[in-house]
């Protein structure tokens, strides 16, 4: 995850009722980020050996292009991030229209052969 927030995102920061407002310039926090003619709601944070970014819209899940856009804002170009589909017994779905990006700090994520990706 980037260590500093891109300057144009600071003005898009919003308070979160549970998390409050981090220090200005922090990559962590809540944001309403314009994309095309609407805004994506984004929460970013780091902890417990993981970087995490959630992306949501009110009436539908984000698309691949929207997730890629957010990935490029919050992560370095050479960082590999993932989305999980855990076993159903482990589901903790509290938002029907939210998708998540994850990156572990302490392990390498192995990609399948590039022709399969």
Q: What is the pLDDT of residues 62-106, one digit of tens each?
A: 999 999 999 999 999 999 999 998 898 988 878 889 999 999 999
Asked whether residue 69 is domain-assigned, the answer is: yes
Asked whether residue 92 is domain-assigned, the answer is: yes
Say how many domains are in the chain. 1
Q: How confident is residue 22, by pLDDT bands cut at 50, 70 and 90?
A: confident
Per the structure, the complete domain to which residue 12 belongs is given by 7-116
What is the distance between the terminal CA atoms of the chain, rounded to a whole angstrom?
22
Q: What is the pLDDT of residues 48-67, one digit of tens each?
A: 999 999 999 999 999 999 99
pLDDT at 23: 78
Asked whether residue 109 is domain-assigned, the answer is: yes
Q: What is the pTM of this model?
A: 0.90
User: Quick one: 74 exposed, middle or buried, by C-beta within 10 A (0-12, 13-18, 19+)?
Assistant: buried
Q: What is the DSSP string of 16-33?
A: BTTTB---TT-S-EEEEE
In this structure, what token pair is assigned to residue 58? 């009110």
CB atoms near residue 31 (< 10 Å): 23
User: Domain of 83: which CATH number?
Assistant: 3.40.1720
Which residues have CB under 8 Å from 36's CB, separation 6+? none
Chain-centre distance of CA 23, in angstroms? 18
CA pair distance 12, 106, nearest whole angstrom:
30
Residue 17: pLDDT above 80? Answer: no
């Amino acid at each position: 995850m980037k260590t500093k927030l891109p300057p144009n995102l600071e003005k898009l920061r919003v308070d979160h009722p549970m998390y409050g407002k981090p220090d200005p310039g922090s990559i962590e926090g809540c944001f309403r980020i314009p994309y095309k003619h609407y805004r994506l709601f984004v929460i970013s944070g780091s902890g417990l050996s993981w970087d995490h970014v959630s992306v949501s819209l009110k009436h539908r899940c984000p698309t691949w292009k929207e997730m890629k856009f957010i990935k490029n804002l919050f992560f370095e170009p050479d960082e590999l991030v993932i989305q999980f589909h855990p076993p159903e017994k482990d589901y903790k779905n509290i938002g029907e229209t939210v998708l998540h990006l994850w990156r572990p700090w302490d392990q390498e994520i192995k990609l399948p052969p590039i022709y399969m990706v």
